[in-house]
Amino acid sequence: MELKPGYKQTEVGVIPEEWEVVTATEACELVVDCKNRTPPVVPDSDYAVVRTPNVRNGQFVIEDLRFTDEASFREWTARAVPQFGDILITREAPLGEVCAVPEARNVCLGQRMMLYRPSPTKTETGYLLYSLMSVPVRVNLLRKIGGSTVGHAKVDDIRYLQLPLPPLPEQRAIATALSDVDALLGALDRLIAKKRDLKQAAMQQLLTGQTRLPGFHGEWEMKRLGELVHLIPSGIYGEEKPREGLQPVLVATTAHIDTDDTWNIKQMAVRFFPQDKVQRYSIQEGDLIVVKSSGSAASIQSGKLGFVDGTRAGKFLFSNFLMLLRPTSIVPLFLYFYLCSHNVKKLLPTLVEASTYPNIRLGDYLEVEIPKPPPDEQTAIASVLSEMDTELTGLEKRQAKTRALKQGMMQELLTGRTRMI
């Protein structure tokens, strides 16, 4: 393939001619390995231990952060005390994850961690961080250890990792552009978290009658779930080879309902069944599909459910580890929100049989008490919560588009295809 004028082929792909290819040692004033063991852990202190789970997707993750005592911190930082602006990188579990050392926090390296301290005269910290997350650099690192992120990199693999290095002003421009997008993503993350918290609070208040919408008064009834729905306890199973007389259909399984009780239908399989089975296990608008049997995966939990709206009605069947609730005397969307609420979620562990694949005890599940306001109040409550869901969905789509924009910018800017200067 002929190179574009002004570009050259290198170990890290095609880059502008004025860019260098350097090793991490050349780009940094310091490259430090850990002590190859994790320091003693204490319940809490001012000295944090950064382990591989604390480094993900360019971010410092504080969940499950461990701590050590001052004496151990001094011992583990004898080679170098990590400081704001340093870059941390994992040598395995998984390989090649990076983040910047956070500001105003004492940290030392846990096992399988290394540290880069960029040279201030050659390398911009932000540029180095983004470059280490770029596809060409990650591919180059994986090539060293056989092509898998579950592999183990040697210290020299990290020390002599090759990087494209633009002139310092261009590094700064690239880092600024990408950090601006990261700032937008951070703001969206915080807004989405806030909106989710508001929705949870609204569900707790509105679905229990603690807060009433304007214009509604009077007492609510309490009904057993079994009084409000028609239950189909199990979906379709097996499949037949394609032949004349069989109908191709999409089939939802436990994996197609996410932990947040929404649909994930991107990878739904096509199977072949006779028309009578297709009719028997087809879904209708207003149906609720519930996971009745958990699997070993954390994402497959008994009690997760998906709501069938008008866009999904008749589009797929449900499989045998799912059950169908067809509301008969309650507003379907109101029931969906109530079954998604904390009031029901906290009951689920008591309704599940302990086994290799825990199953909901259907008799007990149908005994769950459901509040039943008048139909117009049910509809009003469901409408409020649905509008909140719509707003969240819009924000999540914007978040996904912004992430895609960032990936595109990284591909363009970190390879020099698009120049900032």
Tens of pLDDT, residue by residue over 198-217, are 999 999 999 999 999 999 99
> Does residue 183 have a pLDDT over 70?
yes
> Does residue 408 have a pLDDT over 60?
yes
pLDDT tier at 257 (50, 70, 90 boundaries)? Answer: confident
> Does residue 167 have a pLDDT over 90?
yes
For the segment 75-79, the average pLDDT, to the nearest whole number, is 96
pLDDT digits (tens, 9 = 90+) for 331-378: 999 999 999 999 999 999 899 887 767 789 999 999 999 999 999 999
Q: Which amino acid is at 117?
A: R
Residue 174 is predicted with a pLDDT of 98
Could you tell me if 109 and 32 are in contact, meaning their C-beta atoms sit under 8 angstroms apart? yes
For the segment 224-250, the average pLDDT, to the nearest whole number, is 90
From the list 292, 387, 293, the residue with the least C-alpha distance to 339 is 292
> Does residue 326 have a pLDDT over 80?
yes
Element (DSSP H or E) covering residue 21: strand 20-23
> Does residue 146 have a pLDDT over 80?
no
Residue 300 is predicted with a pLDDT of 60
Mean pLDDT of the chain: 93
End-to-end CA, the chain: 26
Residue 203 is predicted with a pLDDT of 98
pLDDT tier at 168 (50, 70, 90 boundaries)? Answer: very high
| CA-only gyration radius of the chain, Å | 27
Residue 239 is predicted with a pLDDT of 76
Higher pLDDT, 149 or 154: 154
> Does residue 165 have a pLDDT over 70?
yes
Cα 254 from Cα 144, distance rounded (Å):
39
For the segment 294-316, the average pLDDT, to the nearest whole number, is 80
Residue 370 is predicted with a pLDDT of 98
Residue 298 is predicted with a pLDDT of 53
Could you tell me if 231 and 368 are in contact, meaning their C-beta atoms sit under 8 angstroms apart? no
**Worst-scoring range by mean pLDDT, 120-124, 176-180, 298-302, 320-324?**
298-302
pLDDT digits (tens, 9 = 90+) for 12-44: 999 999 999 999 999 999 999 998 888 999 999
pLDDT digits (tens, 9 = 90+) for 284-294: 999 999 999 87
Residue % of the chain over a pLDDT of 90: 80
Q: Which amino acid is at 368?
A: V
Residues in CB range of 402: below 8 A, 6 or more apart: 181, 184, 185, 188
Q: Which amino acid is at 328?
A: T
* Tokens found for residue 205: 């208040």
> Does residue 398 have a pLDDT over 90?
yes
Cis bond upstream, residue 94 (ω within 30): yes
Name the one residue in this structure whose structure tokens are 């190859």.
36
Could you tell me if 153 and 194 are in contact, meaning their C-beta atoms sit under 8 angstroms apart? no
Residue 11 is predicted with a pLDDT of 92
Q: Which amino acid is at 362?
A: L
Residue 102 is predicted with a pLDDT of 93
Instruction: Name the phi and psi angles at 301, rounded to 5.
Output: -125, 135
Residue 148 is predicted with a pLDDT of 67
Residue 154 is predicted with a pLDDT of 93
Residue ranges of E strands in 263-321: 269-274, 288-291, 305-307, 316-318
Could you tell me if 203 and 285 are in contact, meaning their C-beta atoms sit under 8 angstroms apart? no
For the segment 128-146, the average pLDDT, to the nearest whole number, is 93
Name the pTM for this structure.
Answer: 0.85
Phi-psi region of 142 (alpha: psi -120 to 50; beta: other; left: phi over 0): alpha
Could you tell me if 50 and 108 are in contact, meaning their C-beta atoms sit under 8 angstroms apart? yes
- Domains delineated in the chain: 7-165 (3.90.220.20), 168-215+374-421 (1.10.287.1120), 221-372 (3.90.220.20)
Instruction: Name the phi and psi angles at 24, rounded to 5.
Output: -60, -35
Residue 258 is predicted with a pLDDT of 80
Residue 244 is predicted with a pLDDT of 83
Residue ranges of E strands in 285-379: 288-291, 305-307, 316-318, 322-327, 352-353, 359-360, 369-372
